[in-house]
Amino acid sequence: MSRFMIGLDIGTTTASAVIFTPHGEVVSEYECAYSTYHPKPSWSEQNPLEVEKAARDAITSSMSQSRLDATDIIGVSISSSMHSLLCMNEQNEPISPLMIWSDSRSYPQAAIMNETYGKGIYENTGTPIHPMSPFVKLIWMKETQYGPYYEAGRFASIKEYIIYKWCGQWKVDYSIASATGLFNIHTLEWDSDALAIAGVHPTQLSTVVPCTEVVGPLSAKIADELMLTTETPIIIGSSGGVLANIGIGAIHDDETALTIGSSGAIRRFTPERTTDDHQRTFQYVFTKEHNIIGGASNNGTVALKWLARQFSTLTKRDTIETFDLESLAATSSAGANGLFFMPYLAGERAPKWNAKAKGGWIGLTLSHNSADMIRSVMESVIFNMYEIQEALTEKAGPTKKLLLSGSFVRSPLWVQMTADIFHKTVLLPKSDHAITWGAAWLGLYALGKVNSMDEIKQYIPIEKEILPSVKNIVIYEEHYHLFKELYVKNKPLFADLDRLQQ
């Protein structure tokens, strides 16, 4: 009898496959990395063939490590990052690189859209007008005479491409479709206004299906390579953000998931379909009854990793670990002695939606030291996430539970900062596999192996509860208001700085 489920996550930099028991115990796991290419400033591209191969290799290696038989596997459930875009020809072959979410070449088109039709498109689709959006990327393709755009018989995300390669079907789940900026969250159909502006016909897009849809069967060649059978169910799944919420148990509308890896995001489930007047948040469809509201930041642990590289160069050491920086930051006090950092090293999505935003220290004096500089960088990341949380609270009401996930939870200092800045007790689930466990559980639900999504909570033990420091809450409240003001005052300079840097 089949007893194990595979969760596959096609992330921004790696494909990860984890084999779980139905209770969430990890049997084996494997991760394969792929490259991101930057042929021009603000361009971020990947080779779809490399990504698809990494997804295959991750499952094959995980199966090989587990020593399980193909008949032991209940199914494979897929997660992927959002906002990727690929041009395909009439023969269903890629004719362009894969443009990923961080590609910001379409900034001029986004700026114009925000001054014209952008608000209406956002209200229909729930996707803020920003270069990350495939909708805006398509406008760039059209306006710059991008060759593959005019030759394309189809436009697809990386997940759609992989499903076609493996199963021969062009299908897309609600959440990935929502994140294109082309899908109407109210009618649950491709949005005619967005398609007309982008110059795309509905026949060039996949069929939109529920996240529980079983696609397939696998081709014999792919099944053999994955060490599975052609009858192994492949569940289309959802986006990584949605599944991270499920994987840590933040599935009720008063529970918030805060995830910070290289980038960061805050998300909540909600039965409502509403947008924000200032486009600070996104709203994507998960099922016909459930939606996810939230905001994503470009700048998470990547800011600290950037700083570690600079310290490494200055000290002529091969590497300096971020752990070393965190230990030093702990010797500074809350508020970093009045030093602020604007964390927009990669531009910013929520809540600013400004691809030209820049980073930098404000308030630096001769009295400040490296510990203050490091701590200010760490605090700025959490300040920005808290600003997104404020927008969520306005739209969806207060949150009762704040659950954390992502690599930043390995830092006790960063976790304590989160509790202090959010002035709320934070919960740390024990699992390190939020996205893939969420995908696996969704697969179990889709196949009728569990009765409800709620049941996952009994298989996600809470490892720690971190209480906020009353003293630090007072300090951070004052610093947070100044942090927001610094962005407003410096925003007019960002476009000029960007012009000089280009």
Q: Are residues 213 and 254 in the same domain?
A: yes
57 burial level (CB within 10 Å; 0-12, 13-18, 19+) = middle
| Res 116: pLDDT | 94
3-state secondary structure 298-360: CCCHHHHHHHHHHHHHHHCCCCCCHHHHHHHHCCCCCCHHHCEEEECECEECCCCCECCCCEE
Inside any domain, residue 440: yes
Q: Are residues 268 and 372 in the same domain?
A: no
Mean pLDDT computed over 227-256: 96
State yes or no: pLDDT of 283 exceeds 60: yes
Cβ–Cβ under 8 Å, residues 161 and 206: no
Inside any domain, residue 392: no
Inside any domain, residue 394: no
Question: What does the chain come to in residues?
Answer: 502
CA-to-CA separations, 405 to 213, 245, 248, 309, 347, in angstroms, rounded? 27, 9, 8, 24, 23
Q: Is the pTM of this model over 0.85?
A: yes
Which residues in 39-181 belong to E strands, given as ranges?
Answer: 45-46, 73-80, 86-88, 98-99, 154-156, 171-173
Q: Are residues 425 and 342 in the same domain?
A: no
Q: How many CA atoms lie within 13 A of 423 on its CB side?
A: 12
Inside any domain, residue 331: yes
CA-CA distance, 218 to 59, in Å (whole number)? Answer: 14
State yes or no: pLDDT of 465 exceeds 80: yes
| Res 319: pLDDT | 67
Q: Are residues 443 and 409 in the same domain?
A: yes
CATH of the domain at 331: 3.30.420.40
Pick from 120-124, 270-274, 280-284, 328-332: least confident: 270-274
- The closest of 198, 203, 88 to 133, measured between CA atoms, is 198
Inside any domain, residue 393: no
What is the per-residue pLDDT across 403-437, written as a single tens digit (0 to 9) for each?
999 989 999 999 999 999 999 999 999 888 999 99
State yes or no: pLDDT of 316 exceeds 80: no
What is the per-residue pLDDT across 75-116, written as a single tens digit (0 to 9) for each?
999 999 999 999 999 999 999 999 999 999 999 999 999 999
Inside any domain, residue 126: yes
- The closest of 5, 29, 25 to 15, measured between CA atoms, is 29
Q: Are residues 404 and 436 in the same domain?
A: yes
Inside any domain, residue 160: yes
Q: Are residues 428 and 481 in the same domain?
A: no
| Res 318: pLDDT | 65
Token output for 239: 């986006």
Q: Are residues 153 and 65 in the same domain?
A: yes
Q: Are residues 149 and 246 in the same domain?
A: yes
Q: Are residues 228 and 318 in the same domain?
A: no
Token output for 159: 């997940």
Range of the domain at 456: 1-296+399-466
Q: Are residues 107 and 27 in the same domain?
A: yes
Cβ–Cβ under 8 Å, residues 158 and 99: no
Determine if the peptide bond prior to 131 is cis (ω within 30°): no
Angle at 3 between CA 74 and CA 208, to 5 degrees: 25
Q: Are residues 264 and 372 in the same domain?
A: no
Q: Are residues 161 and 184 in the same domain?
A: yes
Which residues face 5 on adjacent strands? Answer: 20, 75
Residue type present at position 315: T
State yes or no: pLDDT of 2 exceeds 90: no
Number of domains in the chain: 2
Inside any domain, residue 461: yes
